[in-house]
Homo-oligomer: A and B are copies of this chain.
Amino acid sequence: MTHPAQIPDHPLDLVLTRTIAASPHDLFRCWTEPELIRQWFVPKPWSVARAEVDLRPGGQSLIVMRDPDGNEMPNPGVYLEVVPDRRLVFTDAYTAGWVPSKKPFMTGIISFEPEGEHTRYTARVRHWTAETKAEHEKMGFETGWGICADQLAALAKTL
């Protein structure tokens, strides 16, 4: 079996999808290069204090967010599947070295599909339970990921 073109919907998914005027390659770069991640990954006035990317299955993904008061919140995880310019899958269920996290919360499945000179961008966030999905909705998934997608689109156009 090769990589399926699309990931089917699942009832435990929260999904944001956009057509963005940038190439899959540039959007993939924004998701995987620390210096680019810092520029779009959190809604301003929050910021990214640090981003570490070990881009391989089991490799660490660490994004440290900083709130407007300067408090830092680390978001450690690992990459699960890396298909350059097409798909990136990661989770917080593990940290580097396949160490189990305290509470598996989500799996991110980010797809970049060419659509003419644009890209169909899909950020799919999948949960293990209906409770954590509802919790994520209440935390403002739609608004937060929407703002970030705008920031991502604006950055990708400059590359």
Q: Which positions in A face B, CB cutoff 8 Å?
A: 1, 4, 7-8, 10, 12, 54, 57-60, 80-81, 89, 93-94, 97-101, 104, 107, 109, 126-128
Q: Pick the contact of A81 from B4, B57, B104 — CB < 8 Å? A: B57
Copies of this chain present: 2
> Contacts A10-B99, A93-B93, A100-B12: A80 and B109 contacting too (C-beta < 8 A)?
no
Are the C-beta atoms of B100 and A80 separated by less than 8 Å? no
Closest 10 pairs (CB-CB, A-B): A57-B57, A100-B128, A58-B81, A1-B54, A57-B81, A104-B104, A98-B107, A89-B98, A10-B99, A7-B97
Q: A18 → chain B, closest Cβ, in Å?
A: 21
